[in-house]
Structures are given as C-alpha cells and as structure tokens.
Amino acid sequence: MFGDTAAAADSALIRRVRYLAALIAGVASVLAFAPFDQSWVAPVAVAVLFWTWTGLTPRPAALAGFAYGCGLFLGGTYWTYISIRVFGEAPAALAVFLMLGLVALMAAYYAGLGYVARRWLFPHGGVAMLLLWPAAWMLSEWLRSWVMTGFPWLSLGYSQLDTPLAGFAPVLGVFGVSLAGVMSAGAILLLRRPLSQAGICALAVLAVLWGGGAALRNVEWTEPADKPISVSLVQGAISQDRKWLVEERLPTLRLYRELVDAELGRDLIVLPEAAIPLLMHRAAGYLDALATAARNEGSEIVLGILRRARSDGPVFNSIVVLGETPQIYDKRHLVPFGEYFPVPGFVRDWMRLLSLPYSDLGVGGARQPVLQTTVAALAPSICYEDAFGEQMLAFLPQAGMLVNVSNDAWFGDSIAPHQHLQIARMRSVEAGRATLRATNTGISAVIDHHGKLLAQSPQFEVSVLRADVSVRTGATPFVRFGNLAVVALALVLIAAGIALGRRQVVSGRRR
C-alpha cells in the first residue's frame, strides 16, 4: 500500500517536472525570434517538449503542450496588453483578460498537438520524432493561421530566417521552414543514442535538411525585370497618443509635406499606414497638391489613409497611389479587438455604455487588383496583413514588388515591431520580391528578394530611407502552389509514418 502511494507520488512529481520543462522551453523559444535572433534555441526547445511527451500519456501530454504554448505566447505576445491598455485605453482588467485569453487560445493548439501525438502518433523508434510529430506540428501551425480569422504569429519557421533552413521558404513557405525546424528538433532528441539505428537516421535527416536548405538558398527563383528603381520610405514618428489629436493635424501635415518635398525626383515615395490624420475626402486638397508636386518631378506617392467609399458607409483602412485617378487598396484582414470586435450585439451595447471602443472598420473586397505605378506593380498589405503569406499570392506573380504600410506605434517599445519586421522579411523570401515597408514609428525597412535588409530605420525618430531596388519577375514554387504543397507533404509524411510504425509493430511480434 505504502509502496503504491510512493510510486504515485513519484509519478506525480515526474509529471510536474515535465510540465515545468515544457513551460521553460516555451518561454525560451521566444529567444529564437527577433529581436534576440538565437535561432538555435527553437529546435532545442521543441526537442525538450518532445522529450516531455515521450514520458506522458495523452492527457498529461496535452497539459505539457499547453504549458509550452503558454510560455511561448505569454513571453512572445505580452505586447498585446500594451496595445489594448496603453493605447486602446481599455481598463487594465479587460486588457489582462484579452491578453490571457489570446495566450490560452494559442496554447490550446499545442495542447491538442500533445494529445494527438501521444494518443495516435507514437509508434516505437524514431518515426514519431522525424515524421509524425513534425508533420502534425506543421499542420497545427497552418490551422492556427486561418481558424477564427487566424493568428500566425510566432510560427517556428520565422525563427530560422537567417539559417540554411530558410532555403525552403520559396518552395514551401514559412510552414515548410517550420516543418524542417521541427524535424531537426526530433533528430536532436534521437541523437541521445547516436550509434543506434534511430540516431543514424537522425544524422542523415539533419544532413539532408540543412544541406538541402543551404543549396536552395543559392537558387534564384526570380529575376530582375529592368534597372533598379529609386525609392524613399518616409517615417513621421508621430506618437500614437497624439496622432489623432486635433491640434496635431496641421503639424503632421506640414511634416509629411516637408519630408515628401525633399524626396521629389525619386521614382517612388511611400508613407506609412494612416499617415494623413484625416479621412481621405477631407484631405482632398492636400492630397491633390502632393500628387501635382510629385508628378511635376517624375515621382509617385503611395500612402496610407482612412477613407469612406460613401458618406454613410464604413471607414476603410486604405493604401492610395496618388494621381489624377487614385488607385486604392482597402485592408482585407482586420486586427481582432483593434480594428473590429468579434463580439455579439449585447456586448457592444455594454461596451458603448462603458465608453469603451467598439466600432469596426470596413473590410476590403476579397479580390482587389495590384497597385499599378509607372515603375512597378505593387502587392499591397497593411500592417498585420503581411503575417498571412498566402493572402499575398492574390497579387503574384503580377506584382514585381511588395509594399507594406504599418503603424507599430500601438506596441510601444516592445519586441513586437522587431517580430513584425522578421515576418516582412519572410514574405520577401517566399515571393522572391523586394518589400518596401513604411511605418509610422519604426521599424521601416527596404528588404531585398532574399530577405536581406538593404536599409532600416531607427525607432521613434523622424527618418527617410533611400534605396535602389529591383523589380522582379517570375514565380517561386510557393507563389505557384501556396500552402497546398506543404500541407500535402505533411499528410504524406503522416501516412508514411503510420505505415512504418505498423511495420515496426509487425516485425516486433515476429521476433
């Protein structure tokens, strides 16, 4: 009796140790992403999580997965509190509730992954580590990118942007890089016994993944269309708490006019998201003057602004190419609790009574054309939209360049703008196109088609980035097939892993 009690206590202690290890691994994983850029941490942390799963039954494995997810998203997206509380002016309790709600929702994916991994995907040998669990992980990330509008932040592939594994991005997208990174994690765990059959397979997998990724990084999937174009990205550094104050309107308009005037003669001048602190129809005279000045000097201006399509209609967050007939892109993928509130009507009534922000922005059409300038066709995205790589494919390969306007002032001096820049770099690698990223307070950047930073602004300072950038033609495999290829690959790996696992069971019985 006492022996059974002691064994149960030991078992409970071991489970708690594994839960703690999973939590620490999740927190440590944040270090793999920008601005820390310790890419090696990600596969090691996932290897630790896999280790916790090997000693647990399905339900405890789900708890370990949940602990990992909580650590990752609490450490990696704490800045949602800053956005909601400091700049959204929501009550602290509501901000904490929404932040923790997001963390719990994202952690649930890892909980489900842990349960599935131990319940249905755990044959003997290295099959689970090298095939089944990595494929399931990748499918979980893919689901997280679109279920309930999606939140693809902190997908493991972003952490490998500056490693050889990034070579898979133009072929399979960021989720393909995640797949390679998690397969590497499984291989690391199997290397505890390097001379075993599983250990030798693990070494072979690492060699293929990292050698293959390095080789793919040298492939030029697209080519320059013509001579480079000259671009200027204007960063006004207007603090979020003053951006929409009436007394700040004229100073803001003067600032941007002065900055633009200094860049006239450049092929393309790009201003940030909602750079002009007026609705578009109320700024018509100002915009016409900008367009005329630019046209006289052979320049074109692209800027972010809020607008109404009709007087009684919703407000859209838009990008406009100024001209006699302005070209317009309206944001399609809005930020939950920032640009729209996914709550029922009675909750909106309650928010209105408490003087909480509750109004929604309009949603842009699903099919919108590229923004055509005289020097390049542009694939537009606004702020958070560039986290959705497959969404950009609607403009490719027609567009020769990506343009993203953003306002990361919402996140203060946190790690969010650095993470966002890392995401923008991945979009360039996937598409084989340069990205022009103009932000309000930083980090603005010019990114080449390999994801390399050609120019980068300081944060919270007025600045202008200048660069000569190539317009690209052609299509990467990811542009042609999107996420279809990597999802199909993951399903094939799961089918192969299950078949191999069954063979191992049959072979074991014969012995």
Instruction: Give the model's pLDDT for residue 29.
Output: 98
Q: Which of 237, 224, 227 is nearest to 272 (CA)?
A: 237
> 8 vs 149, which has greater pLDDT?
149
Q: Are residues 415 and 450 in the same domain?
A: yes
**Is the same domain home to 307 and 386?**
yes
Q: Write the pLDDT tens digit of every residue in 95-119.
A: 899 899 999 999 999 999 999 999 9
| CA dihedral of residues 453, 407, 233, 247 (deg, nearest 10) | -150
Question: How sure is the predictor about 250, in pLDDT bands with cuts at 50, 70 and 90?
Answer: very high
465 and 427, same domain (yes or no)? yes
Q: How much is the average pLDDT of 63-88? A: 93
pLDDT at 87: 73
Digit-coded pLDDT (tens) for 278-325:
999 999 999 999 999 999 999 999 999 999 988 888 899 999 999 888
What is residue 91's three-state secondary structure? coil
Using the 8-state DSSP alphabet, how is residue 364 labeled?
P
User: Is 432 within a domain?
Assistant: yes
Question: Given a cut of 80, is residue 507 above it in pLDDT?
Answer: no
Residue 82 lies in a domain: yes
Sign of CA dihedral 250, 252, 255, 256: negative
Regarding whether 157 and 61 lie in a shared domain, the answer is no
Which of 462, 440, 443 minimizes the C-alpha distance to 276? 440
The answer to whether residue 354 sits within a structural domain is no
- For tokens 């109004």, the residue is 359
Query: Per residue in 26-41, pLDDT tens?
Result: 999 999 999 999 999 9
If you search the block for the tokens 């930083």, which residue do you land on? Answer: 442
Return phi, psi of residue 114, to 5°: -65, -40
My answer on whether 282 and 142 are in the same domain is no
Longest dimension (CA), the chain: 92
243 domain residue, yes or no = yes
Same domain, 315 and 191: no
Quote the Cα angle for 317-322-327, to 5°.
Answer: 60
Q: What percent of the chain has pLDDT over 90?
A: 75
Identify whether 350 is part of a domain: no
The residue range of the domain holding 194 is 123-221+480-504
**What mean pLDDT is predicted for residues 443-471?**
97
Q: Does 423 lie in the same domain as 289?
A: yes
pLDDT of residue 366: 86
Give yes or no for residue 344 having a pLDDT over 70.
Answer: no
Local confidence band at 445 (pLDDT 50, 70, 90 cut-offs): very high
pLDDT at 132: 95
Q: Evaluate if residue 509 carries a pLDDT over 60.
A: no
Check whether residue 114 and residue 3 sit in a common domain.
yes
pLDDT level of residue 230 (50, 70, 90 thresholds) = very high
Q: With 70 as the cut, is the pLDDT of residue 505 above it? A: no
Dist. CA 217–CA 228, nearest whole Å: 22
The verdict on 134 and 5 lying in the same domain is no
Instruction: Please indicate, yes or no, if residue 509 is contained in any of the structural domains.
Output: no
Among 67, 86, 120, give the residue marking a domain's end. Answer: 120
Backbone angles phi, psi at 37, to 5 degrees: 60, 35
Within a domain: 338: no
Mean pLDDT value of segment 461-470: 97
Q: What is the pLDDT of residue 88?
A: 72
Q: What is the pLDDT confidence band of residue 378, given thresholds at 50, 70 and 90? A: very high
232 and 265 in a single domain? The answer is yes
The tally of domains found in the chain comes to 3
Q: Do both 70 and 54 map to the same domain?
A: yes
Q: Is the pTM of this model over 0.75?
A: yes
* Predicted pLDDT at 240: 83
Catalytic residues: 273, 331, 383
Mean per-residue pLDDT of the chain: 91
In a domain, 49, yes or no: yes
Q: Which of 120, 135, 159 is the last residue of a domain?
A: 120
Asked if residue 471 lies in contact with residue 376, where contact means CB atoms within 8 angstroms, the answer is: yes
Same domain (yes/no): 248, 375: yes
pLDDT at 364 over 90: no
Pick from 110-124, 328-342, 399-413: least confident: 328-342
**pLDDT above 50 for 332:** yes
Indicate whether 6 pLDDT > 70.
no
- pLDDT, position 506: 53
3-state SS class at 163? coil
Average pLDDT over residues 71-81: 96
Position 342 confidence tier, pLDDT thresholds 50, 70, 90: low
Residue 310's domain is classified under what CATH number? 3.60.110.10
- Amino acid identity of residue 222, one-letter, is T
pLDDT score at 167: 98
Picking from 97, 120, 143, the residue at the C-terminal end of a domain is: 120
Vertex 456, ends 453 and 459: CA angle to 5°?
145
